[in-house]
């Protein structure tokens, strides 16, 4: 599904977390990479120096990703080399990123949740926030506290967690998560975890307790229904129904059960291209600290 991703780098140590993760992911999933750096107009005289840095990083990524690819590639895929190139553009960061994606057949954006100084340029409240809400392609967010085991792909279990609300829109994330499992092939024992969090509120009566149990049973049946065609295809799927406030329950689950990836769907885009996030997705974006987060539009 994913053929070419753009990886956003600003030269900071925090953004380098994305770089190391990207070379591992590129090699295992055989994804070509475009490294992109956006230089503000007031720093345009530094473009040659920054371009040299980016070209060096592209060469390093290509070499490392190729080592990983050849280690895990099937015989028929050994001749399909990974391509990586560097690009430096000048202008408004969010605008330049979105234009670059649109003009270069990019189908995935990878970026850190913070970068530069760690509190400004790539903070979720500024450039990253604009890109997240306006992007027409999925975004793979990498937290700066990303677990080393995820970068090295050494977690004991390779879970991809997909929270579902029960709506068709939320199921858009399942399509992408399943595609990632297929793209990784048989090299790892990945398992999809379809998750629903039921918030019963304050339960004071027997009738309310019975209703809560009925709703949990209904959601378990719903999750099993979503899981069935995936299992029929040979993908390992586990279903979980949790109780509590949705965003907090998802984060707590990830702390207890570290996962390779958390995939969630937005509600699509408004007329002007701004993604519409549900309250749970918006909260999780700000709360997740150690697990990569894939955001996809329900319109994709």
Q: CA-to-CA distance for 74 and 185, rounded, in angstroms?
A: 9
| Contact (CB, 8 A) for 4 and 107 | yes
* Domain boundary pick from 126, 142, 158: 142
Same domain, 116 and 185: no
Same domain, 285 and 167: yes
Domain count, the chain: 2
| Contact (CB, 8 A) for 211 and 190 | no
For 276, the domain range is 148-297
**Per-residue confidence (pLDDT) for residue 144, from 0 to 100:** 74
Same domain, 133 and 200: no
Cα–Cα distances (Å) from 260 to 47, 136, 195, 200, 285, in that order, read: 35, 24, 15, 29, 16
Q: What are phi and psi of 89, to 5 degrees?
A: -125, 160
**Per-residue confidence (pLDDT) for residue 200, from 0 to 100:** 80
Same domain, 10 and 117: yes
**Per-residue confidence (pLDDT) for residue 279, from 0 to 100:** 67
Same domain, 226 and 106: no
**Per-residue confidence (pLDDT) for residue 177, from 0 to 100:** 95
Same domain, 153 and 41: no
Number of other residues whose CB lies within 10 A of the CB of residue 32: 17
Q: CA-to-CA distance for 92 and 100, rounded, in angstroms?
A: 12
pTM: 0.86
Same domain, 131 and 163: no
Same domain, 105 and 171: no
Residues paired with residue 295 on neighbouring β-strands, in sequence order: 139, 264
Q: What is the CATH number of the domain that holds 127?
A: 3.40.50.620
Same domain, 162 and 68: no
Helix axis angle, 13-29 to 47-72, nearest 10°? 40
* Domain boundary pick from 92, 109, 142: 142
Mean pLDDT by 10 residues, the chain (300 residues): 90 78 89 93 92 93 86 58 90 93 95 55 60 89 84 81 91 94 74 92 79 91 97 95 90 91 74 50 76 83
**Per-residue confidence (pLDDT) for residue 48, from 0 to 100:** 94
Distant-in-sequence, close-in-space partners of 202: CB < 8 Å, separation ≥ 6: none
Among 253, 297, 252, smallest CA distance to 278 is for 297
Same domain, 111 and 175: no
**Per-residue confidence (pLDDT) for residue 82, from 0 to 100:** 83
Same domain, 175 and 131: no
Same domain, 201 and 70: no
Among 256, 240, 246, smallest CA distance to 283 is for 246
* Domain boundary pick from 123, 142, 161: 142
């Amino acid at each position: 599904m994913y053929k070419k991703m753009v990886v956003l780098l600003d030269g900071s140590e925090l953004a380098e977390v994305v770089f190391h993760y990207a070379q591992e992911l590129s090699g295992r999933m055989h994804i070509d990479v475009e490294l992109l750096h956006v230089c503000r107009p007031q720093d345009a005289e530094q473009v040659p120096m920054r371009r040299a840095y980016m070209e060096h990083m592209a060469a390093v990524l290509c070499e490392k990703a190729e080592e990983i690819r050849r280690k895990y590639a099937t015989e028929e895929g050994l001749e399909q080399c990974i391509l990586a190139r560097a690009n430096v553009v000048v202008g408004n960061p969010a605008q330049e990123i979105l234009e670059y994606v649109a003009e270069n057949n990019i189908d995935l954006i990878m970026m850190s949740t913070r970068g530069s100084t760690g509190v400004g340029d790539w903070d979720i409240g500024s450039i990253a926030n604009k890109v997240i809400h306006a992007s027409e392609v999925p975004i793979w967010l990498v937290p700066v506290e990303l677990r080393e085991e995820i970068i090295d792909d050494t977690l004991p279990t390779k879970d991809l967690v997909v929270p579902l609300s029960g709506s068709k829109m939320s199921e858009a994330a399942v399509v992408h998560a399943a595609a990632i499992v297929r793209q990784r092939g048989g090299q790892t024992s990945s398992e999809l975890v379809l998750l629903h969090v039921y918030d019963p509120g304050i339960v004071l009566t027997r009738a309310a307790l019975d209703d809560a149990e009925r709703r949990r049973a209904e959601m378990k049946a719903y999750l099993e229904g979503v899981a069935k065609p995936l299992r029929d295809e040979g993908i390992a799927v586990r279903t979980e129904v949790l109780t509590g406030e949705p965003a907090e329950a998802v984060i707590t689950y990830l702390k207890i059960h570290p996962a390779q990836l958390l995939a969630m769907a937005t509600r699509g885009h408004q007329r002007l291209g701004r993604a519409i996030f549900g309250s749970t997705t918006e909260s999780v974006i700000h709360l997740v600290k150690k697990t990569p987060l894939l955001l996809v539009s329900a319109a994709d």
